[in-house]
């Protein structure tokens, strides 16, 4: 399914049909071309061009001094990037798969996230850690985790995730330009979805959510790989008489409460959808903040649709584990409606 995405309309940027992987490749190439301080390195990003071919052709174009493979030592990759950033470079590193990043967790949480604060702003660490994440590709364990809350809980990190090719380009360019360390989560099952769009990053903002579909009855909040499912559910809900607004968070840390709360105050109901396990998942924080700030506008409790509270299942079972349209529709129907469902576009 192709996700419809807002994009820039600058006359000097021509529309192009591109996959998310292609958009990320373009973002890296443009950043490398524009700023000699940018380096790209990690596991198999050089000669192979990455497992998902996101870095395809970059080593040949920019040379092995700027795009290169590393040993399979994630802690060493991040530690090296920290040292480079402290000396004026802007590393972009890839962890290859979500759970592969765990050996680097100590470097990320104890040093990457804290060094700017520890030095009272004297040392900036403009590092981007690219992490393919999430399910839907038939992968085995260690390849399909949704580990976003580990990073969003860590003060000092920005955490972003695109859901479309246009956002993949814009967010990655902005992440590379950011003076803060950014965990850049790439939804694996969206890598090959295509979109005809102008790739540009000048009219977008790194830390703001976007309304992808307007609605009046309920707000559906999602991000990354689950956004496409959420948009499908919104279309299906309309056929059943519910007008669902869909918000793409894009930035998980910081969280754009302003945009989300404004929508929920209009609709009075909300459902958060994500792939990660529901217990202590990102949706729990969204629900808590909405309960605190929108309590008198809510017509029902904020509900969550997530993965089950189990280790990621075998490939033949993941379709049951991941949120689907039916589970989102079921949550909408449980939002304490009156005897009759609302008419689409007519409010609750």
- The active-site residue out of 142, 143, 153, 274 is 143
Alpha carbon distance 92, 127 (integer Å): 6
Task: Please give the full DSSP string across 110-121, using - where no structure is assigned.
Answer: IIITTHHHHTTT
Tokens representing 30 are: 């443009």
Task: Please give the full DSSP string across 153-196, using - where no structure is assigned.
Answer: TSTT-EEE--SSHHHHHHHHHHHHH-SS-EEEEEEGGGTT-EEE
Question: Are 191 and 52 contacting, i.e. CB atoms less than 8 angstroms apart?
Answer: yes
Main-chain dihedrals φ then ψ at residue 203, nearest 5 degrees: -110, 20
Known catalytic membership, residue 143: yes
Alpha carbon distance 170, 167 (integer Å): 5
CA angle at 285 for the pair 145 and 333, rounded to the nearest 5°: 90
Alpha carbon distance 180, 113 (integer Å): 9
What is each CA distance from 255 to 33, 44, 94, 117, in whole angstroms? Answer: 31, 32, 24, 20
Alpha carbon distance 189, 168 (integer Å): 13
Exposure of 339 in the CB half-sphere (CA atoms within 13 A): 0
Main-chain dihedrals φ then ψ at residue 242, nearest 5 degrees: -110, 130
Alpha carbon distance 259, 44 (integer Å): 38
Alpha carbon distance 125, 178 (integer Å): 9
Tokens representing 264 are: 């929920």
Tokens representing 181 are: 């360390």
Give me the active site residues, please. Answer: 143
């Amino acid at each position: 399914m192709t996700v419809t995405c807002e994009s820039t309309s600058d006359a000097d940027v021509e529309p192009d049909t591109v996959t998310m992987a292609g958009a990320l490749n373009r973002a890296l190439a443009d950043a490398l071309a524009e700023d000699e301080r940018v380096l790209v390195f990690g596991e198999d990003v050089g000669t192979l061009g990455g497992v998902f071919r996101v870095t395809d052709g970059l080593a040949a174009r920019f040379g092995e001094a700027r795009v290169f493979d590393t040993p399979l030592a994630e802690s060493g990759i991040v530690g090296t990037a920290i040292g480079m950033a402290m000396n004026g470079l802007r590393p972009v590193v890839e962890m290859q798969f979500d759970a592969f990043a765990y050996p680097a967790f100590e470097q990320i949480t104890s040093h990457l996230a804290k060094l700017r604060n520890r030095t009272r702003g004297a040392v900036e660490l403009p590092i981007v850690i690219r992490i393919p994440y999430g399910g839907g590709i038939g992968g085995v364990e260690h390849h399909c985790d949704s580990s976003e809350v580990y990073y969003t809980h860590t003060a000092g990190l920005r955490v972003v995730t695109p859901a479309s090719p246009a956002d993949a380009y814009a967010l990655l360019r902005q992440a590379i330009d950011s003076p803060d360390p950014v965990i850049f989560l790439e939804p694996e099952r969206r890598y090959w979805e295509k979109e005809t769009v102008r790739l540009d990053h000048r009219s977008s903002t790194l830390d703001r959510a976007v309304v992808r579909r307007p609605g009046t009855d309920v707000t559906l909040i999602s991000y990354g790989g689950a956004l496409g499912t959420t948009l499908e559910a919104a279309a299906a809900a309309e056929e059943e008489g519910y007008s669902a607004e869909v918000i793409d968070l894009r930035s998980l840390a910081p969280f754009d409460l302003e945009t989300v709360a404004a929508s929920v105050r209009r609709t009075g109901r909300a459902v958060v959808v994500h792939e990660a396990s529901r217990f202590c998942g990102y949706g729990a924080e969204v629900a808590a903040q909405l309960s605190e700030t929108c309590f008198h506008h809510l017509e029902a409790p904020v509900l969550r649709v997530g993965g089950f509270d189990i280790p990621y299942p075998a490939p033949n079972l993941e379709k049951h584990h991941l949120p689907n349209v039916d589970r989102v529709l079921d949550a909408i129907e449980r939002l304490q409606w009156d005897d009759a469902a609302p008419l689409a576009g007519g409010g609750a």
